[in-house]
Structure 1
Amino acid sequence: MGNLGIFLVTALAGLTALAGALVGHWGWRLAARGARGNGGKGTALPGRWRPWLALATGVVWAAVVLLTRPAWFWPAALWLGAGVVLLGAVDLRSRLLPNRLVGPFAIVAAATLGVAALGVGEPIRLLGAGAGGVALFAIYLVLALISPGSLGMGDVKLAAVLGAYGGWLGWIAWWWTALGGFLLGGMTALVLVVIRRSGRRDRFAFGPAMLLGALAVVLAATWGGA
């Protein structure tokens, strides 16, 4: 890549980072309008979180443009990045993954994955996405039924979306998407046990671990080409 190519890619990453910051700011406002629920606990995020959401979304979006190929996958990856920041923050704060956020996240994810599959000329990837979403949804549903105190239905629905991303990329990526959430979640739980000296039954937000694991897989699997 020549100097001009490097300049253009860097400029594009910078513009995308600015757009991501705006999306992160909008996400904070969206969460602030959250309906009350779960015994009166809503999904509004503190005002001091707003610049951090903007910064995090901007950084993730720049990383997507710099690392992810093909460009047809950018909309899906950018949407995932926005979801990682907003949904992760909401779940971390309120222990909630409400339908009004997960639902639109799932719809747009499906649409952008469809565009990516058609753009790369491999519509068969849609079957992988569908199968991956159903498979990870089923696994989380069984676990939630076995241990309802550990996983909520929000986690189960989110698993379907993340499984679709993994399935779109292939079954190796799907396995890592599934394992990544459990590995990060397990490490988080262990750290909380040590720091808080809490019992195993204490609830913690599992969504951020799922989201970060899926994002790491997407960036690794599409680094230079999906």
Structure 2
Amino acid sequence: MSAAAGVWASVGTWALLGAHASWTDLRHAVISRRACWAAGIAIAALLGASALALSDPRRCLSTFAGAFAVGALTEVVYRTRPGAIGYGDIRLIIVNSLLLSWWGPAWPWWGLAAGTAAAVPQALAATLRRGRGTAVRCAPALTFGAGLVLTARLSAVGPLP
């Protein structure tokens, strides 16, 4: 397998997860644990194989470190304010971060910021309609934000930065 093929397979896996998570979140207010972890493991394996194909194991470590940093912060947010974010959203954020970390440690943060910004209009509308503390379905916005950053990275530098 070539390194670029592994990255493209990771992108495809992530796209399937994003579509599935968005659909189930909108329909049932659930983001599947199995789907997130299965896709996350597949993406980690594919990116790890791509890093090995490039003979650059440090890229694999930096990719995992970038995802870990975002995951640790969202875990702290969840533990301090569990009503503010659901754990399914955190799992999706971790998988998004894992993919975006391939291009560098800053990109998962940009993906999280873009996803959060995309969720703000929906959150404001839900708050105005139903009051404070209303649940907001964030999977579509988180997927959209990560997709924007992913598209920018792929168009700017391609699958192999």
Per the normalisation by structure 2, the TM-score is: 0.85
Aligned AA (2:11): A
Verify: 1:192 aligned to 2:121, yes or no: no
Verify: 1:100 aligned to 2:34, yes or no: yes
The within-5 A match list for 1:22-41 is: none
The within-5 A match list for 1:125-140 is: 125-140=59-74
Aligned AA (1:221): R
Contact 2:31 2:89 in 1 (8 A): yes
Aligned AA (1:204): V
Aligned AA (2:145): G
Aligned-residue sequence identity (percent) comes to 29
C-alpha displacement of 1:187: 2.7
C-alpha displacement of 1:90: 0.8
Q: Distance in 2 between matches of 1:127 and 1:120?
A: 13
Which runs of 5 or more structure 2 residues have no equivalent in the other structure?
none
Which runs of 5 or more structure 1 residues have no equivalent in the other structure?
1-68
Partner of 1:74: 8
Partner of 1:213: 145
What is the number of residues matched between the two proteins? Answer: 156
1:176-212 Cα deviation digits (max 9, x unpaired): 1221222112232123345xx2212100112222222
Q: Distance in 2 between matches of 1:123 and 1:187?
A: 41
Q: 1:204 aligns with which of 129, 132, 136?
A: 136
Verify: 1:167 aligned to 2:101, yes or no: yes
The within-5 A match list for 1:38-187 is: 70-187=4-121
* SS of residue matched to 1:204: coil
Q: Distance in 1 between matches of 2:41 and 2:77?
A: 24
Q: Distance in 2 between matches of 1:71 and 1:222?
A: 13
Relative CO higher for 1 or 2, CA cutoff 8 Å, sep ≥ 6?
Answer: 2
C-alpha displacement of 1:71: 4.2
Q: Distance in 2 between matches of 1:199 and 1:212?
A: 25
C-alpha displacement of 1:72: 4.0
Contact 2:21 2:32 in 1 (8 A): no
Q: Distance in 1 between matches of 2:37 and 2:6?
A: 23
* SS of residue matched to 2:133: coil
RMSD of the TM alignment (CA)? 2.0
